[in-house]
Structure 1
């Protein structure tokens, strides 16, 4: 089947985060590039199934095209595919039969936006959650209660969350999950608590990265890693994941160096560094960092050499280390060796990697305007970007 739809839409993504700060699902936002385009629901579901197969993780489709969404409601997506339905469509009697059919099939549906009038009684049980935008939540001014004091009819997911403070407040108001990237003020919030949790672990990995950068003997590297066996285990798990694509299993750190070499090993130490923190509020930040690295690498898979791909991966993975270490990049990268082009992007906001970095952030923010501007700057086709994004999300799912 053709995947022409990947050239007709812009894709964005964001996480569903539960009270334990675990990422429980991914939202895939689909923007049509032309309002009058005829989009194929079957092609969209095929592309989605390539990343989230029927027996895989959950994905929520946020489709900004009424006609495409109407077609999706009449299709038969696998039950791990959740559908977000705007309130105006949920209240339309013409959609009752399709919504009920999806509900019977076992698909989770989320009501998006505040209904202007009561939904048909037949429809309300079809929705497991409502999605309430943070800026539109009337309970904020009233504490945990709604203005009328009445309980909400169905559990809600808070969207528009961009900070840890917003996330915690949403859970205190009863949100079942938050939807968004709470990374804006992680540094400031975490600094109030004193020394970052897991700092010792992070310093061990930084030391190891420095030793690998200097290509020190394997014995010295092994001695450093042995100071924290849990980190050694995690590194082996990453290297042996399907995302790495090795044909043989890596059995030891020494074996990893022999098989990979120092340069390729550095990228996986970067990944380890970005996911080694113990602060639960940083879990969504780690999640974002991994996907940034994989996405930036995929964006140059067809145009860059191995060195560029590895550097782009490190650039993305390191792009949130200032949050984890609670330090500005200019200070942080004095102790962590990075290539010059990575330093330019993270510290100076310049250099050849910066436009790719801006593209990744536009996808995370689910902004069609920023997506289009970044794509034009890079002179990349929309289909090329979407394919890179889906490959990155597939690799990320294999690492989780």
Structure 2
């Protein structure tokens, strides 16, 4: 598969900022030069070699992307795979219709080994994944795989024009796959491939790989382990929701994933409870296990997440004093996401483009509007001893100092207990 060794522009962020991942993407275009998909490359690897973990990280980072621009939009995602990674549970977390798995050849494979791999590849395609292969699949040893090919990539840097013509002719007679000319670097290569019937193209002639900076909000390992433990015990939705409330990073990752285009939902999910119920225990377990595999040090200081958790709980408790349960749930969301800008290193408005929240939540976070905005101002005033704001917000909400102080102490105690 494509392994572009293009020069990569200097990173704009410190190399030791482990909350930042760098993904390169290169467009795959049709004959009208409209983008039909992107091939993704992990530019954050610190060690040599391509491993199953690389593939897992690449797909997961793409779906949990928290950058300033949409990473892939509604187009296809082409991802290089190892045979080891194809059985990974991470593939159950995404909408297969959006993903093209690029399957590597087996080297000097015997027909028996090719046949042995067929059931796994067939199962992936049956689940709805698209499969792509390089021109090796047109060799007789890979005849068993040929009916599974949705895309066949033809590398113009290694195939002479006469070889290309033979392969295109053979593919046209023996497969329904779409052909992709890759490593297209000149107008002459494009004209030659196009004239022979190839309709999809990839390479420097259209666009060199562009870097996309994506920030990751890393949950604590303790929260991930607690989530996995509860799921294994088939705990209730309410118990699992409580774990999400404890860790702002965990909450953000779940909401971002479940509302990503790669998850394939037709409606937006705005509450943790909805997300848990929709995802189900099996996928929650796989998601938690994957998060644990990819968890790492770095990111925002732990105090940022702790402050967000206390805010969320304080606002929830105060909302329960004067509003209904639904608004109390939204109050918690406002509190726990009120420091997303600090967690992601971007303006709050940009951060809110990455997740779906109800309009009252958005108005509170961006403009401190409505009762949720007043609650957030009150929670912040409790943190920084801003007496004027405290008095104004308390009066607007008709809350007494005793109610507020009592709720704040409860929120701090709750946060301390969950951090043990």
Shorter-chain TM band:
0.3 to 0.5
* TM, length-normalised to structure 2: 0.37
* TM, length-normalised to structure 1: 0.39
Q: Computing the radius of gyration over CA atoms, which structure comes out larger, 1 or 2?
A: 2
